[in-house]
A and B are shown apart, each in its own frame.
Chain A
Amino acid sequence: MPLELYLDLHSQPCRSVFLFAQINKIPFEFKAVDLSAGEQYGEEFGKVSIIRKVPVLKDGDFILTESIAILQYLAAKHRTPDHWYPADLQKRARVDEFLSWQHTNIRTHGSKVFWFRGVVPAVTGAPVSKEKMDAAVEDLNASLKTFEDKFLQSRPFIIGDKISLADLVAIVEIMQPVGTGLDVFQGRPVLSAWRDRVKKELGVEVFDEAHKVIMNVDTLPQTFEKKGLPEF
């Protein structure tokens, strides 16, 4: 039975899993889940995961949620090149440190800006208040500053000379607000250079393929199954 990956490429953690599997030539069946239609709340998806989020991995009878766990599982099972999740104690710790920190920082703030700029106005017919928007952008900027000052610094990639899961997870999160017209790379030459390096390492074609659906605000879901709208 082939590996199944339940994905919606609007979702950042789905993109990191998609990219990782593609780059490492891990064969899988792409099981599309339409979040805007609320498919994650359907009966069928409920049999896959009661957490009702994506991505989900189904490897035979083994079902696994959470992109970080999925990436770690695929790296171990398919013995992907060491640099993705190094065996070296300190290098691995640095990857783990970023993977832990990002949940409630870049991920939260990047998501919020994406929703505020790209989806909420179309769905509700009204813009988000300036105060709320400014606060969200301010938080995102603070996260990006921390990313540059602490996690990246003057290194080519987060843990050194080679790309790892940390860069992969970082890039998909940082790309989230970009399609809504907020170019987070503008005025950030170090971040831009890192983005270019990561894109090159991943492969420009597969990177662009993964990011196609969120790169244009006009193509984002204009309606949203009410339950599918996250709360901020």
Chain B
Amino acid sequence: MVRTCEAQTRLSKLFQKMSLEMYLDLFSQPCRSVYIFAKKNDIQFDYKKISLFEGYQYSEEYGKINLLRKAPAIKDGDFCLAESVAIMLYLAEKFHTPDHWYPADLQKRARVNEYLSWQHSAIRIHGSKMLWFKLLIPKALGVEIPKEKIDNAVEDLNASLNLFEEKFLQDRPFIVGDQISLADLVAIVEIMQPVGAGMDVFENRPNLKAWKDRVRAEIGVELFDEAHQAILCAQESVKTMDPKRMEHFKPIILRYFLS
């Protein structure tokens, strides 16, 4: 009996050593896509909840997981991987998720890849800015962003959303066609970011709103809402943040947002 117990303990320890760890902060768009993808596909993982606002990404501990000091990051056994797009492609392949997420068909896959590439310097950048301009910078530095800067940022975001609708979505139910893919997942988490900042991006965009409702339904309303709870409460939670604990953001803010 003792030998069986020992064997079982060894097995569970082995399993634990081999388990997938995911380092996530659900305020972050790419963390949300990874979280939703894993949960939706029943991929078991050890959820390592981290706080970017508190600067955990700069710790020595996290440096061993991800030298890029960003989230998300995963640790699968000894294999560490950063970048949400790379992580999801890895998980899709490893866990043999349903084909529609990242189709094997050459042209459909190319369409997903096309969106995943374009979005980095388009929707992602412009959507991110709104949270910083409307909530984080005023809190961290105690300054209001000049109206002109905000207007320009809104204009850039609108231009990206226009392109999203005209080129990537058009009159299709989802980006690649009839079924949801990684492209829609990455798109939705980015588009929800400015919503958290108090900007209703779906106003006057009925096509975009219909797409969002479809995506939310496909993902599962409960999972979608759970993943987005933190960002949708951002206006409230930023109010309670202590500016003194946001010192590490100052250089980033000054360099990238206020220069």
Contact = CB atoms under 8 A, between A and B. Distances in A.
A123 B107 CA distance: 40
B8 to A, nearest CB: 29
A62 B117 contact: no
Q: Which of A66, A89, A108, A135 has the most CB of B within 10 A?
A: A66
A101 B84 CA distance: 10
Interface in A138-180: 139, 146, 149-150
A93 B121 contact: no
Interface string A44-71: 0000001100000000001011111100
Contact of B114 (A69, A104, A135, A139): A69
Interface in B135-188: 163, 166-167
Interface of B is mostly: helix
Contact of A96 (B86, B106, B255): B86
Given A51-B118, A69-B113, A69-B117, A135 B255 contact: yes
Interface size bucket, B side?
A: 20 to 34
B166 to A, nearest CB: 6
A96 B86 CA distance: 5
Contacts of A92: 89-90, 93
B259 A104 contact: no
B66 to A, nearest CB: 9
B85 interface: yes
A232 to B, nearest CB: 10
Interface in B78-123: 79, 81-87, 89-90, 93-94, 106-107, 109-111, 113-114, 116-118, 120-121
Contacts of B116: 68-69
Interface residues of A, number: 32
A73 interface: yes
Interface of A is mostly: helix
A93 B110 contact: no
A139 B85 CA distance: 23
Contacts of B109: 72-73, 76
B68 interface: yes
Given A50-B167, A65-B118, A89-B90, A100 B83 contact: yes
B93 to A, nearest CB: 6
B114 A64 contact: yes
B125 interface: yes
User: Which of A67, A94, A96, A99 has most chain B Cβ within 10 Å?
Assistant: A96
4 residue pairs, one from A and one from B, having the closest CB atoms: A96-B86, A69-B113, A103-B120, A100-B83
